[in-house]
Structure 1
């Protein structure tokens, strides 16, 4: 049984750079995430076949949307436009046609023979880790997921007539080790000497070079039509049907293959028919964001279909594209009883701070019992953002009355219960207090986010209570009353955590987590200290940057001190600023990484439990794992078994969803791990747990930084650039391993056992690395104190 996550293919997308977006272009080098592409050689003669291939791929594999490299030499602009209309991630790459003129060929003057070699240009591509080639006379009929999970060698289906020694080159799954100059040189040498079957063209060269050394795929991935001679039915398990030979379906076909050609003609349709067919796919089909937006938006523009508009808008929201969601739903007419449409539009509108309009649509949605819980939770959120806790609690309780199991409604009911508000807003003398903007997490929230506000305060002194601190929840609207309270304090501290991220409690005021307008930001007249904030874009995620960039620029201008928690974040933020502001962006390590120096009364453990704590994260799972979750799980199982012979391995869950690693290891690999529900711990217990173990293997940023700060050795499972940023900052990149690493299990085992074998020395190394961060923190503290004492 293969482990899967239902949302992985939908989320596993590379967001192509767009106007106003800030992509993390080097992120894949840090995370090791595999870049995958399809490829085909296309010319005018084979264009009808390629268009049908694209349609069949989208309709049978709607969850896949990798780059599709089109190798070409003579495509007209109108043909390129037709191709682009069917797929959002077409990469055009002209072939070096003259390169193949020196090859020995069976018929030098036949233009089709000459073009048969052009697909070999695929081996000159250097932008991807895996490339899957498809002939343009193919049609996709089934799931191709297995091909994208292949990680080694060059894979193909053996030829139908030649046993298993020779491959059919119609479909190739090529890994990076073959996308090299050295392999291209071998192809060129064979082609120029003619030491291959000349009548087999590119296929002949590949078979001569490989000499049987390729990974065999099942015939269903390149099922040649000759297997169906006599008008046989296409077997149900065929994933790719290949119309080899001279007679192509778009040219009239061939006698004796009517049933096979019927399958090809199923996908011969107009663009409008194709988009309508794609829009009609069931909601549970795991449709990929990019395909849905590309095809669905055009379908909505032509038809005004509200159901498709709602699905496209939901895809935009899932990707943090809130204004785009508003725009697409604004193009259709929603009836009063379209509760689903009103709920999605309300969600989009509140995410761009159009709160009054959002309330109207959410109230309409709440009239439907099937949508009431979700709509009421969003109404509660809007009321809470505006400081109306009683109203928020009423909406949350209404949601719970409809669905007692609805977690968001329960969260808002708990957050707004009497006595649950942030303490201390009237305690202590204002002139002695610092205001503190942070994300204040509930008791059963993410463990790292719970610890952060207190850790930031500890960096400023032992007193973290309301006597010295005035809390400002980042997600609440920073209105005039909040501004007046802040301006009555000594200064304003903003941090820590990855506040520079657009899709956690989104708002249209700033484009990042603090819900502050430019007008309010300009009106703050006390010193502003931005402290250990992170720029938290995932590999494959980009920021709609205009509003964020404007707010960021103003924040840097207005700040007396602007410190980011790693140099990777510094690079990204500086790139968004004018030259005059870039030097204001400074390095300030996350205070959790120096916890031993700032937690009052801290003493290092004399002895630790003989345990290893394992953490895995599942938020934005597709961006973390891509197509490699099954590989990650299997390799982790190998490591857990090996490490478990030396120490007890336990699962530590920062958030409730982190427990999934324990469920999946048990279900898929028969491994049972005890679970530590750290999301339910207070801050002291979080620190005690991490200080009392010998090693933490963690995927969340603070599953690395918190134990490190307490002197506990770590190995980071890198699925986000920030993990690599931190390890790079402390000069220990070897303490990380990518979740995509081909040999993840062996590498993780080797590093973990090495740390356990030499534990005392590794702890000393952690202390030494931490001392450097502490020195930076102390120097910054002296500067910040002077700024606040002016």
Structure 2
């Protein structure tokens, strides 16, 4: 009995593959895979290869394509136990029957050609092939960063002209029908070294045109004849020849075979070894740690491993899974760190009382107390208890005076400055938004005021009652909302799973269904975005239910780009699709909203660059070093047109300035926009010539101020916005191979006739303003009073 290659796809959510492909198409993120041809005879070698890859590269987890011509279900199960991202693909074995071969009847010779099916892969940008008689002994990160050509190690005996095909790093330009046709033609003609099989064909086709890798990436056993030790810098050891280690090996290679036997172990021993070897902070890939660590914890009850697993789940937005793994173990009373992580996980699913108990236990240990106190302060703040929150934040600073989260919460709850006097409830709109605290993201700081400006020039407490989205929407909040004229929710990317996580809605507004359904004033969802990154997922059932109820209850449901509209409609029944409409982010029409706005008479001779570092792994993948090098080229090129400065929406955004100086000797002035007030944010963006930004609002705010933009696309929302204004050429993927040159060229084009470019921005903005005005007419009907 053999297995079907479609089996793994059956486990994926409907539409997941197309959604992943769509997101990658927008961000340009490279998709990388390992690949091997595996049959039953070479299965022991492949299992050792998988173990060695995980143990020596614990932070690497790309898809692993298993090419096969039929594997037993038990063999597939053994493979899947050793890797969480295995995909089986059956080779077209009959194709190779037409190839000329040295021995047509030898089944091993016939199967030697099957790895050539790797060139028929079309859904990856880079494919790294590994023979099943290899083990990985060292770091492979260099291979994951290769972006050009076909790379391999030259053959040991034949000099630099011919490659050894045991390891190939293949880029997309070789994964084509044209290259496959060349392989087929050579194979059928027999015009190659017949005794070298697939390797012979590739050498005949390439004729030496390949990128040379150091031999440590394919260190063949024959180099160690006479029982020599394996060199310390060997990254991949290749057991070429007939005598394989799992079949008894070969005399004269005992030390090499001893290295292979390091990876011949039971699944339980392997999982324990992975957990141990990856124990340092950040030393494990989420998928690998979860795949190996979960059964290890269930078998052993190890608390420290459970804590690491929970942190990995929390980092990926898998909050219920974090709770589940810590519920499965017995945490000693005096183990502060697991209690603190458990408390964090429980907070994230809105089990606040249980979270508080765990966090109080964690405060007993000096090294965890500050963080535990800051989380206790956050729980109190979520429940509207600023006095208790302030006290807990003070406790955190007492333990660690430098603890930033405690300091910010203490400032937020200080209460020394009374809030502005509110108008009467019947004159107010309630406004659910993310109200950014001190030194927060500049874009989020500007958003609430921008939303309010679309309803009228008065954005203060006379007309507006503020409700922080992250605070629990309880009975008191419900009563206050129902006393107002209506409820506005927005703007910003509130539909995101891991910012202010909660178990009530699974998005940023912490609202239980029961309270949402008791709101009896008009609900207006205004310019909200679906902000999940490529590779992120929601707690689907909870989010979908909350989203559907919100759409059903809303009198107006406007999303800030058509990409978000498509994502949200896909989660709703057809009957609700028409309820979802386009409402541009109000920051994109700033010039129309700010009373008395005047465009600058002249602009500063500057270009502002913004880079974002939250969720850096999702933004950059393996390409950060490439991105930084290309940005260095761009900064040097752009310097011919204007002074280049770094604009930081948040503290983390300053990293690009630090890294450019350290790695490339480039110094940039830094504008700390996170400390700016709203007028200063708008003024800074209005006075510059060009903004090159990675954050959504590093594009939308300057655009709204009439300033030309280029977006560094690392998130689908950037491409969504550019599509809406019909200027996709104003965006460049952070993964673009020639990013520096393209950025410089496009900036030069926009700056060459700056007045015309600004006029184009104004024209695009006018189209968004027409939509905003049309929606305002509908809002006037809903509210029965003027809007703008």
State the TM-score, normalized to the length of structure 1: 0.97
SS of the aligned residue for 1:169 comes to strand
Query: Out of 305, 312, 319, which is 2:309 matched to?
Result: 312
Query: Out of 649, 656, 674, which is 2:651 matched to?
Result: 656
Residue 284 of structure 2: aligned partner = 287
SS of the aligned residue for 1:283 comes to coil
Q: Hey, what's the Cα distance between the residues in 2 that align with 1:20 and 1:28?
A: 14
Q: Hey, what's the Cα distance between the residues in 1 that align with 2:16 and 2:172?
A: 29
Q: Hey, what's the Cα distance between the residues in 2 that align with 1:21 and 1:370?
A: 42
Equivalent residue runs for 1:181-196 within 5 Å: 181-196=177-192
Q: Hey, what's the Cα distance between the residues in 1 that align with 2:215 and 2:328?
A: 46
Deviations 1:262-312 (A, max 9, x none): 111111100000000011122235200000001000101111111111111
The CA deviation at 1:499 is 0.2
Residue 344 of structure 1: aligned partner = 341
Q: Hey, what's the Cα distance between the residues in 2 that align with 1:429 and 1:591?
A: 26
Residue 11 of structure 1: aligned partner = none
The CA deviation at 1:601 is 1.1
Q: Hey, what's the Cα distance between the residues in 2 that align with 1:288 and 1:709?
A: 40
Residue 770 of structure 2: aligned partner = 775
The CA deviation at 1:543 is 1.6
Query: Out of 93, 99, 110, which is 2:95 matched to?
Result: 99
Residue 664 of structure 2: aligned partner = 669
Aligned length: 774
The CA deviation at 1:74 is 2.4
> Conserved in 2, the CA contact under 8 Å of 1:666 and 1:672?
yes
Residue 455 of structure 2: aligned partner = 460
1:626 maps onto 2:621 in alignment: yes
Residue 575 of structure 1: aligned partner = 570
The CA deviation at 1:419 is 3.8
SS of the aligned residue for 1:295 comes to helix
Q: Which runs of 5+ in 1 are unaligned?
A: 1-15
Query: Out of 150, 157, 164, which is 1:168 matched to?
Result: 164
Equivalent residue runs for 1:357-436 within 5 Å: 357-419=354-416, 423-424=419-420, 427-436=422-431
The CA deviation at 1:641 is 0.3
Residue 555 of structure 1: aligned partner = 550
SS of the aligned residue for 2:494 comes to strand
Q: Hey, what's the Cα distance between the residues in 2 that align with 1:279 and 1:427?
A: 56
Query: Out of 263, 270, 277, which is 1:267 matched to?
Result: 263
Q: Hey, what's the Cα distance between the residues in 1 that align with 2:162 and 2:398?
A: 66
Q: Hey, what's the Cα distance between the residues in 2 that align with 1:380 and 1:203?
A: 63
1:140 maps onto 2:136 in alignment: yes
> Conserved in 1, the CA contact under 8 Å of 2:57 and 2:139?
yes
> Conserved in 1, the CA contact under 8 Å of 2:408 and 2:438?
no
Q: Hey, what's the Cα distance between the residues in 2 that align with 1:46 and 1:443?
A: 59
1:299 maps onto 2:282 in alignment: no
Deviations 1:501-550 (A, max 9, x none): 01001000001000001100000000000000000011111222110100
Residue 241 of structure 1: aligned partner = 237
Deviations 1:72-120 (A, max 9, x none): 1121000000000010000000111111100000000000000000000
Q: Hey, what's the Cα distance between the residues in 1 that align with 2:652 and 2:401?
A: 20
Residue 644 of structure 1: aligned partner = 639
Q: Hey, what's the Cα distance between the residues in 1 that align with 2:20 and 2:241?
A: 45
Q: Hey, what's the Cα distance between the residues in 1 that align with 2:194 and 2:149?
A: 25
Q: Hey, what's the Cα distance between the residues in 2 that align with 1:585 and 1:561?
A: 8
Q: Hey, what's the Cα distance between the residues in 2 that align with 1:402 and 1:232?
A: 56
Residue 328 of structure 1: aligned partner = 325
> Conserved in 2, the CA contact under 8 Å of 1:376 and 1:396?
yes
Residue 8 of structure 1: aligned partner = none
Residue 5 of structure 1: aligned partner = none
Q: Hey, what's the Cα distance between the residues in 2 that align with 1:337 and 1:126?
A: 53
Q: Hey, what's the Cα distance between the residues in 2 that align with 1:368 and 1:21?
A: 43
> Conserved in 1, the CA contact under 8 Å of 2:506 and 2:538?
no
Q: Hey, what's the Cα distance between the residues in 2 that align with 1:21 and 1:100?
A: 33
Deviations 1:340-392 (A, max 9, x none): 11011100000000000000000000111010011001000000000111100
Q: Hey, what's the Cα distance between the residues in 2 that align with 1:554 and 1:284?
A: 41
> Conserved in 2, the CA contact under 8 Å of 1:563 and 1:587?
yes
Residue 231 of structure 1: aligned partner = 227
Residue 603 of structure 1: aligned partner = 598
SS of the aligned residue for 2:366 comes to coil
Root-mean-square deviation (Å) = 1.3
> Conserved in 1, the CA contact under 8 Å of 2:34 and 2:62?
yes
> Conserved in 2, the CA contact under 8 Å of 1:694 and 1:713?
yes
Q: Hey, what's the Cα distance between the residues in 2 that align with 1:194 and 1:736?
A: 48
SS of the aligned residue for 1:676 comes to strand
Q: Hey, what's the Cα distance between the residues in 1 that align with 2:674 and 2:423?
A: 30
Note closer, same or farther for the CA distance 1:445–1:285 as it changes in structure 2 (3 Å cut).
closer
Q: Hey, what's the Cα distance between the residues in 1 that align with 2:776 and 2:70?
A: 64
> Conserved in 1, the CA contact under 8 Å of 2:129 and 2:167?
yes
Q: Hey, what's the Cα distance between the residues in 2 that align with 1:17 and 1:784?
A: 41
1:80 maps onto 2:45 in alignment: no
Q: Hey, what's the Cα distance between the residues in 2 that align with 1:401 and 1:266?
A: 49
Q: Hey, what's the Cα distance between the residues in 1 that align with 2:417 and 2:349?
A: 27
SS of the aligned residue for 2:532 comes to coil
Q: Hey, what's the Cα distance between the residues in 2 that align with 1:329 and 1:521?
A: 31
Residue 510 of structure 1: aligned partner = 505
The CA deviation at 1:21 is 8.1
Q: Hey, what's the Cα distance between the residues in 2 that align with 1:331 and 1:594?
A: 52
> Conserved in 1, the CA contact under 8 Å of 2:377 and 2:390?
yes
SS of the aligned residue for 1:472 comes to strand
SS of the aligned residue for 1:650 comes to strand
Q: Hey, what's the Cα distance between the residues in 1 that align with 2:697 and 2:422?
A: 31
- More displaced 10-residue stretch of structure 1: 18-27 or 567-576: 18-27
The CA deviation at 1:754 is 1.1
Query: Out of 64, 67, 70, which is 1:68 matched to?
Result: 64
Q: Hey, what's the Cα distance between the residues in 1 that align with 2:677 and 2:150?
A: 51
Q: Hey, what's the Cα distance between the residues in 1 that align with 2:544 and 2:639?
A: 47
The CA deviation at 1:480 is 0.5
The CA deviation at 1:24 is 4.7
> Conserved in 1, the CA contact under 8 Å of 2:125 and 2:172?
yes
Q: Which runs of 5+ in 2 are unaligned?
A: 1-10
Q: Hey, what's the Cα distance between the residues in 2 that align with 1:314 and 1:530?
A: 33
Note closer, same or farther for the CA distance 1:532–1:368 as it changes in structure 2 (3 Å cut).
same
> Conserved in 2, the CA contact under 8 Å of 1:21 and 1:542?
no
The CA deviation at 1:134 is 0.1
1:523 maps onto 2:518 in alignment: yes
Residue 727 of structure 1: aligned partner = 722
Q: Hey, what's the Cα distance between the residues in 2 that align with 1:465 and 1:74?
A: 69
Equivalent residue runs for 1:751-766 within 5 Å: 751-766=746-761
1:211 maps onto 2:207 in alignment: yes
Note closer, same or farther for the CA distance 1:420–1:230 as it changes in structure 2 (3 Å cut).
farther
Q: Hey, what's the Cα distance between the residues in 2 that align with 1:19 and 1:289?
A: 23
State the structure with bigger RCO (CA 8 A, min sep 6), 1 or 2: 1
Note closer, same or farther for the CA distance 1:428–1:344 as it changes in structure 2 (3 Å cut).
same
Equivalent residue runs for 1:20-99 within 5 Å: 24-99=20-95
Q: Hey, what's the Cα distance between the residues in 1 that align with 2:535 and 2:162?
A: 37
> Conserved in 1, the CA contact under 8 Å of 2:323 and 2:346?
yes
> Conserved in 2, the CA contact under 8 Å of 1:612 and 1:648?
yes
Q: Hey, what's the Cα distance between the residues in 2 that align with 1:139 and 1:364?
A: 45
Residue 10 of structure 1: aligned partner = none
The CA deviation at 1:64 is 0.4
> Conserved in 2, the CA contact under 8 Å of 1:20 and 1:544?
no
Equivalent residue runs for 1:478-517 within 5 Å: 478-517=473-512
